[in-house]
Structure 1
Amino acid sequence: MSSSSAVEKRQFQQVGFLRKLEIVGNKLPNPSILFLLLIIVLAVLSLILASMHVSAIHPMTHKVIYVKSLISREGLQWIMTDMIKNYINFPPLGMIIVLTMGIGLVEKTGLMEAILKGTIHSIPKKYITFTIIILSFMSHLASDAAIVVVPPIAAMVFYSMERHPFVGFAASLAAIYSGFTANILIVTTDVLLSGISTQAAKIVDANMVVTPVDNWYFMCFSVIYLAVLTTFVTEKFVEPRMGKYEGIQPVQLDKPTPAQQSALKATGIATFIFIVVLLLLVVPEGALLRNPETGGIAGSPLIKGIVPLLLLFFLTVGLTYGIKIKNIKSGDDVVHMMTECMKGLSGFLVMVFAIAQFIAAFTWTNIATLIATSGAEFLKNIGMTGLPALLCFMLFGQFMGLFIASGSAIWSLLSPVFVPMFMLLGYHPAFVQVAFRAGDGAFNTIQIVNPFLPLFLETLKKYKEQSGIGTYLSLMLPYAISFFIMWYILFIFWYLTGLPVGPGVPQRLW
């Protein structure tokens, strides 16, 4: 061993675990290459399991599911015919491209900087972290779009305040992703999960209904509880570890100039008009953006079209500010601003291709479904009851979250087994749903099949070019562990006190 290698090894041994994780993780291949290698591993594994005729019974359809091999005639045909479809239909792809155009216009016109100036000077610095975390929790109203929009803005806020941008990014992302579905408002996830729970509950009781508000007490309290503790973790552990940001010098954000203040006022008026128009399209009975079949908000064009609505909002405020401040003088200026921001997505677009193929292949082989159904059957058969059974259920749901990106997909697999099982033990299906939600989120930021990973890496590289998977994992691991502990403590507290999980919804049926 050379002397330089010996010195490097000695230095590596002296640094902490998270720094070691960053160093080792950043030595991994580029994520595009890494996921292509994972596809090869998956192909070999699927061949082995398929040759062994490994199967399971789907809890919802009761059909036998077999592992399908990628290394087969059927697998080859699927790869050749669905490769482009896997890429184009990758859920975050279109959303990120569309929102980038809108956010890019807001950023390039200078509106983002002007808002940051006003925000920084109006909120006491000691409350900035808590404010960002609370806003991140509330952004669940926009569903997955919040993951695209809010953490990069949080990074910019910290950067502008001469604090490490990684800390702002990580705190916001943890609140959105590890604290997923925790909200004071009723959001789309409440509607989706309650519908799945109702279907599963009817296996035991045909009259049982789980409504979107049945978890409101628990989820509402969790926002304040998690926000306070996440702020503590951020300021006492994460930020001191990150140290002073050594990148490019942040722009000093003085108070908005008179011209900027005038443009901000015009933008505020445009925002007010946008909201009024939106309310007119939503609030009146029979409004255009209500569900045409039920007349409600659930499943309505408003919910399904949240990304286009956000794009229209960004275009409205961006154009208003840009025209007023005279940064936009023609349509060419608008196109140029959007184009400049889209250029930054080139690396993301390449990376997403490999990730989309891996996730699609993992689903097509039925291996993820097999893991879920087999594990659920095992937990059912061991006959554990009470709090230990609920905690094991939570852990299993968390384990599944490492392999399946969609929480609703996991709940669709697990609810037909566990909701009836726990109902027969005397637990309300809404309480079983709470257990799943508390156990589902903590490790979202470090899951294997994270569809937003390319976007996260691109955001980090804006502030540190050498950032890689190791940088991201070492940044988010403290939050993943913290949320794991916080969620379980909260659930155990709720269980032991017997508090209702929602309005008129007790923990037990009897």
Structure 2
Amino acid sequence: MSAPAEPTRAPDEPDTQQLPRLVRAMAVVERVGNALPHPFWLFWVLSAILAVISAGLAAAGVSVIAPDGEPVAVRNLLSGDGLAMAVSSMIDNFAEFPPMATIVTVIMGVAVAERSGLLAAAMRVGVARVPASLVVFAVAFAGTVAHVASAAAYVILVPLGGLAFRAVGRSPILGIVVAYTAIASGYDASPVPTPNDAIFAGITTAAARIVDPAVTVSPVSNWFFNIASSLVLALVITLMTRLVLAKRPDLDVDPDAPDDDLGRLSLEPAERAGLHRAGWVLLGALVLLTAAVLPSWSPLRGEAGGIVESPLIEGIGAVIALLFGTLGIVYGRRAGTITAAADVPKLMADGIRQMAPVLALFFAIAQFLAYFDWSHVGDVLAVVAADALRTTGIPIPVVFLMVLAVLTVVNVMVTSGSAMWSIAAPVIVPMLMLVDVPPETTQALFRIADSGSTAVTPMSPYFVMALGFLQRYRRSAGIGTLASYTLPLAIAMTLVWTALFLAWWMLGIPLGPGAPVR
């Protein structure tokens, strides 16, 4: 009896049975993720699902007792009242979406700083002027600071990481991995307030108002925690790189890899002068702001001289935008990238154009959140889940770990932080508020989930971009290659960051100005 014929395959077709498990797992993630609709359409699909659920619950007469003691019944989105609400409030939902005005304002200021070259120059100095022994920490910490430039952080810092490592005689492959992982898996741990802080704060505010209409979450509500997180994560990357990645035998570059121009790490005289001038202006601005806030009678203080609930904190988005815009103008004038006053609004407009896809997504998110609020489905889910937590007696730290695990898995498929938080926040924030967890604390927990797995998922467009930089030094590198480099770092960062969060919560340290952790 003859043996069965082996299946044939094209000469250039890979033998999937021989692929490493990690590569096959990444391929599965990529296929499943690609099957999901664009986040814009995802929210309309979710709105349709919500409408059907609300109709069923309303028909069943489902209701709960709200925290204020009043009964709350589910309302049918498919009813005449639901249709009237959806049509009449569509524009208001978008215009009043909490992150909208803040994020547009912040982006205009940050765009001036980025497009004038200030942020790129600061990053280059940050990774170039350090001794060889500190280059890993410098690149890792620069990755957390670079988030102020949003997506541009990847474009600027990832190749600079390779250059910085090669400049001190280390593998540029390692430099690319360190820079990319620091940005991706530490994306929400910036010591400097970023546009993401404004987006998350707005979404958290909208979710928290399901329980308490008076709640407002500030863009700096997690600032103290973010500062500590950025330092801790940079240390974790440094230790894991030295103890694990640096010992890998596959860090050699291809013999014919391009010899990069290391001069790109240094600054031109005009750039250096612009950076110095911007530094002095930053120092002066901080001194003036401090002097303006110190007197108890300062108009920037709130009632009874308070700082937490004050015009300064309420307008922190405008302060951040003004500061970045001013520094960008000062740098640009000296470096020659801004030659006329008319250049400034053009740079602001460029920033808004870059935000156009996000603004389109905000339109869909705003409608979904408005439907969720009007239907009271969020109230029911939050109250039922909170009652279940009280009944079962599950310790809050265990609840934190359960939420973190679920969101981390979701983040592998839905890599847009604003999209994922818009889906999760309307349920998780109210639920935890009803068991006495402040919305700022839930938001801090989300930051960990939104960051940790980002460095290993091929669903992130920046994963593919980082792979392109890696292939400059090793043409044979693939998805599995990059994931195998980033996975140990991402796991260690997530575990340590989670431990830091739990310790922060147990010690009762404020997460930011006016943001108690418990």
Answer yes or no: same fold by TM over 0.5: yes
Does the alignment pair 1:78 with 2:85? yes
Matches within 5 A, 1:324-473: 324-383=334-393, 389-395=395-401, 398=404, 405=422, 413-417=431-435, 441-445=447-451
CA drift of 1:308 comes to 0.7
Kindly report which structure 2 residues correspond to 1:250-265, keeping only aligned pairs within 5 A, or say none: 253-265=264-276
Q: Is the 8 A contact 1:87 1:352 kept in 2?
A: yes
Structure 1 letter corresponding to 2:274: A
Deviation at 1:81, TM superposition (A): 1.7
After superposition, the C-alpha distances for 1:4-39 in whole angstroms (9 at most, x for unaligned) are 8x9589489762423431343134322222222222
Query: Which residue of 2 is the match for residue 61 of structure 1?
Result: 68
Question: In the aligned structure 1, how far is the partner of 2:293 from the partner of 2:185?
Answer: 31
SS of the residue aligned with 2:309? coil
CA–CA distance in structure 2, aligned partners of residues 478 and 365 of structure 1: 43
Counterpart position of 1:306? 316
Map Cα deviations across residues 75-134 of structure 1 (whole Å, 9 max, x no partner).
212211221222222233333322222222222222223223322221346645545665
Rounded to whole Å, the distance in 1 between the matches of 2:225 and 2:358 is: 37
Q: Cα RMSD over matched residues? A: 5.2
Q: Distance in 1 between matches of 2:385 and 2:357?
A: 37
Q: Which of these residues, 8, 18, 28, is aligned with residue 20 of structure 1?
A: 28
Q: Which one is further off, 220-229 or 110-119?
A: 220-229
TM-score (norm 2): 0.65
Structure 1, unmatched stretches of 5+, are 140-145, 182-187, 201-214, 420-431, 448-455, 504-510
- One-letter amino acid matched to 1:298: V
CA distance in structure 2 between the partners assigned to 1:478 and 1:56 by the alignment: 45
The alpha-carbon deviation at position 288 of structure 1 amounts to 2.4
Match of 1:40 in 2: 48
Aligned residue for 2:448, secondary structure, equals: coil
Residues 45-87 of structure 1 show CA distances to partners (whole Å, capped at 9, x for unaligned) of 22222222222222x3122222222211122122112212222
Structure 1 stretch 305-314 or stretch 370-379: which is displaced more? 370-379
Q: 1:319 to 1:147 in 2, by over 3 A?
A: closer
Residue matched to 1:290: 301
1:241-252 map, 5 Å: none
What per-residue deviation string (whole Å, max 9, x for no partner) do you get for residues 226-256 of structure 1?
Answer: 5533555688579x99999x9xx99952422
Deviation at 1:408, TM superposition (A): 11
Q: Choose from 271, 275, 278 the match for 2:282.
A: 271
Alpha-carbon offset, residue 346 of structure 1: 2.7
Contact 1:155 1:169 in 2 (8 A): no
CA–CA separation in structure 2 for the residues paired with 1:233 and 1:280: 42
Q: 1:131 and 1:340, CA in 2 relative to 1: closer, same or farther beyond 3 A?
A: same
What corresponds to 1:156 in structure 2? 156
Tell me, in whole angstroms, the C-alpha distance in 2 between the residues paired with 1:267 and 1:253.
21
In structure 2, C-alpha distance between the alignment counterparts of 1:329 and 1:3, rounded to whole Å = 60
| Contact 2:190–2:226 (CA under 8 A) maintained in structure 1 | no
Any conservation in 2 of the 1:32–1:351 contact (CA below 8 Å)?
yes
Identity rate, percent: 26
**Comparing 399-408 and 107-116, the one that deviates more:** 399-408
Q: Deviations over 1:344-378 (max 9, x none)?
A: 22322223322332233233333333222212211
User: Where does the alignment leave 5 or more consecutive residues of structure 2 unmatched?
Assistant: 1-6, 163-171, 193-199, 213-221, 411-419, 454-458, 469-478, 511-518
User: Measured at CA, do residues 228 and 49 of structure 1 come closer, stay the same or move farther in structure 2, by a change above 3 Å?
Assistant: farther
Which residue of 105, 108, 115 maps to 1:101? 108
